[in-house]
Chains A and B, each alone.
Chain A
Amino acid sequence: MNDDLYQDIILDHSKRPRNCHAMADANRKAEGYNPLCGDELKLYIKIENDIVKDVSWVGSGCAISTASASLMTESLKGKSREEALKLLEKFHELLTTDTPVTQELGKLVVFCGVRDYPARVKCATLAWHTLKSALTNSGEPVVSTE
């Protein structure tokens, strides 16, 4: 059981989250909050010449949201702002459509099982909503997945 949701990579990243620290010289920051579970997340990004040089996060949440933040930060480094936003779109498709295009997602495909758990989609997307806020400066200091 849980073979479809809690895949090994997800469990690994939830227990040992990567890039999980604050960043003093970040030039983009945003906060995300999920009032339903109390999950919260701060995202730090350093962008130079429109390229994500570094990205990190701190926060607390369930295994899915923790692993999602961890894997997201891994997959963003070196991407242009536009590429990052495109990846966000693809990731969202992965969680919400029956026939997602999985190319370019790399390790992120481990979240494909989430779409069978509608109540957990927001856990997987918290970090990504926060990313969008950080990259687009939407003016919302705290994004909420509810």
Chain B
Amino acid sequence: MIASVISAGFDVDKVREDFPVLKQRIHGKPLVYLDNAATAQKPFAVIDAIRKFYEVDCANIHRGVHELSQRSTAAYEETRTKAKRFLNARAKNEVIFVRGTTEGINLVASSWGRKNVREGDEIVISALEHHSNIVPWQLLCEEKGAKLRVIPMDDRGELLLEEYEKLLGPRTRMVAVGHISNALGTVNPVRQIVEMAHRAGALALIDGAQAAPHMKIDVQALDADFYAFSGHKVFGPTGIGILYGKARLLNAMPPYQGGGDMIKTVTFEKTVYADLPYKFEAGTPSIAGGIGLGAAFDYVTRIGLDKIAAYEHELLVYGTEALSRIPGLRIVGTARDKAAVLSFVIDGIHPHDIGTVLDRQGIAVRTGHHCAQPVMDRFGVPATTRASLAFYNTVAEIDALAAGLAKVKEIFS
């Protein structure tokens, strides 16, 4: 009965048909894939688009006048248009193809940072960040003699905005925060965070790796200066991602990498760089990845991110209740505004043992520090077990997780 209530307006069984990987058995049990925050599975639409590229259209892009090159260029560039719509960017040339969120952040830290950050300047990040939104800024600060400041969080895993306010000052150059925490699921009030950064005269970069698959993104409404996310987490291929940047800022930044495709003319005396977005796209990119990502945007848009967010929220509520009933289990991260991530610890049982026992029951979860060691330190745990949900997950799968955890407890207590 609960299942039908939850599924109202969303046909999860039909959606699951689109994902071939979900149909297999692992160690004799149906696969229950709950590691979506690490990477999401791919629908036929994406797999078929990549296959078509390699079977029919394969050629390098932006060069060659031949038919195949024109087809591949058109398909690849079409994804840029789709990304512009997906993010509600003002213009296509504000969409830069990168390898993923990590490269997007590194691009900004390296290109914008090297030019604009000076000794004594400050970069603000948050206590919730993934290592990919910590280390690039640390490298920059080290090189420039700048200071890294960290917005603290409370016991629920919510950022303390009044503390953030105190960190902002005349030396703040950049505020870089995650839209959604990968380890805890906290949805940060990024609109407000960006506004406060701007009031202090700083720029704001949003790490959207965990948000893009789960909610509608509108970079204009957020007024974000930069927004980065990975293709593989939005049901697209690995090796491709998007960095959005305001054209005015991108135009003023030096190139990130040098090479082919990012130039207008090259002589040994002087090279004139290409215009946006190509200035930041040196070398042959992941063409198949870009085309697959376009198919992923279409797929997700067709289902509708509003529907996805609503369904996943129901799953989160159901999952939170189911796990809370397990004695000795503590959910880590209980923000009021939260994405469908269930990070937890169980008294006396190490996450790696939990992960292995669940795996033998066909249930894939992530165990460890989730590339967010400072988050683990804040909650005083070395690691957690994390079930991260996507719209193809079901209530029955959450029941399977709960049953799996009962088995874990039986073995280890």
A→B interface (CB under 8 Å): 1-2, 5-6, 11, 14-15, 36-39, 60-64, 117, 120, 123
Contact = CB atoms under 8 A, between A and B. Distances in A.
Given A37-B383, A63-B353, A11 B369 contact: no
Contacts of A120: 352, 356
B68 interface: no
B74 interface: no
Contact of A38 (B349, B353, B376): B376
20 contacts: A1-B27, A2-B356, A2-B357, A6-B353, A6-B411, A11-B411, A11-B412, A15-B412, A36-B368, A36-B369, A37-B351, A37-B352, A38-B369, A38-B382, A63-B349, A63-B353, A64-B352, A117-B356, A120-B352, A123-B352
Contact of B350 (A5, A11, A61): A61
Which interface class (under 10, 10 to 19, 20 to 34, 35 or more) fits B? Answer: 10 to 19
Interface in B320-351: 349-351
B41 interface: no
A119 B411 CA distance: 20
Given A1-B360, A62-B353, A64-B353, 5 more contacts: A1-B27, A1-B407, A37-B350, A37-B352, A60-B382
Nearest to A120: B356
B74 to A, nearest CB: 43
A62 B360 contact: no
Given A62-B350, A62-B353, A38 B383 contact: yes
B368 to A, nearest CB: 6
B182 interface: no
A140 to B, nearest CB: 21
Contacts of A38: 369, 376, 382-383
A117 B352 CA distance: 11
A60 to B, nearest CB: 7
A1 B353 contact: no
Contacts of B356: 2, 5, 117, 120
A129 to B, nearest CB: 17
Nearest to B349: A63
A18 B301 CA distance: 57
A63 B383 CA distance: 14
Nearest to B367: A37
B263 to A, nearest CB: 40
Contacts of B352: 37, 62, 64, 120, 123
Interface string B185-196: 000000000000
B350 A63 contact: yes
Given A1-B361, A6-B411, A37 B382 contact: yes
Contacts of A15: 412
Contacts of B349: 63
B411 A2 contact: yes
Contacts of B367: 37
Nearest to A1: B360
Interface string B370-413: 00000010000011000000000000000000000001000110
Contacts of B412: 11, 14-15, 63
Given A1-B27, A60-B382, A120-B352, A37 B357 contact: no
A123 B356 CA distance: 12
Contacts of A39: 382
Nearest to A62: B350
Contacts of A64: 352-353
Interface in B172-187: none
Nearest to B352: A62
B135 to A, nearest CB: 14
Contacts of B361: 1
Interface string B298-331: 0000000000000000000000000000000000
B411 A37 contact: no
A9 B314 CA distance: 42
Contacts of A37: 350-352, 367-368, 382-383
A105 to B, nearest CB: 22
Nearest to A14: B412
A111 to B, nearest CB: 14
Task: Give the 9 A-B residue pairs with the shortest CB-CB distance, closest first.
Answer: A38-B382, A62-B350, A62-B352, A63-B353, A1-B360, A62-B353, A38-B383, A37-B352, A2-B360
B346 to A, nearest CB: 12
Nearest to A117: B356
Contacts of A117: 356
Contacts of B353: 6, 62-64
Contacts of B382: 37-39, 60
A66 to B, nearest CB: 8
A117 B359 CA distance: 11
Nearest to B355: A119
Contacts of A14: 412
A88 to B, nearest CB: 22
A60 B376 CA distance: 15
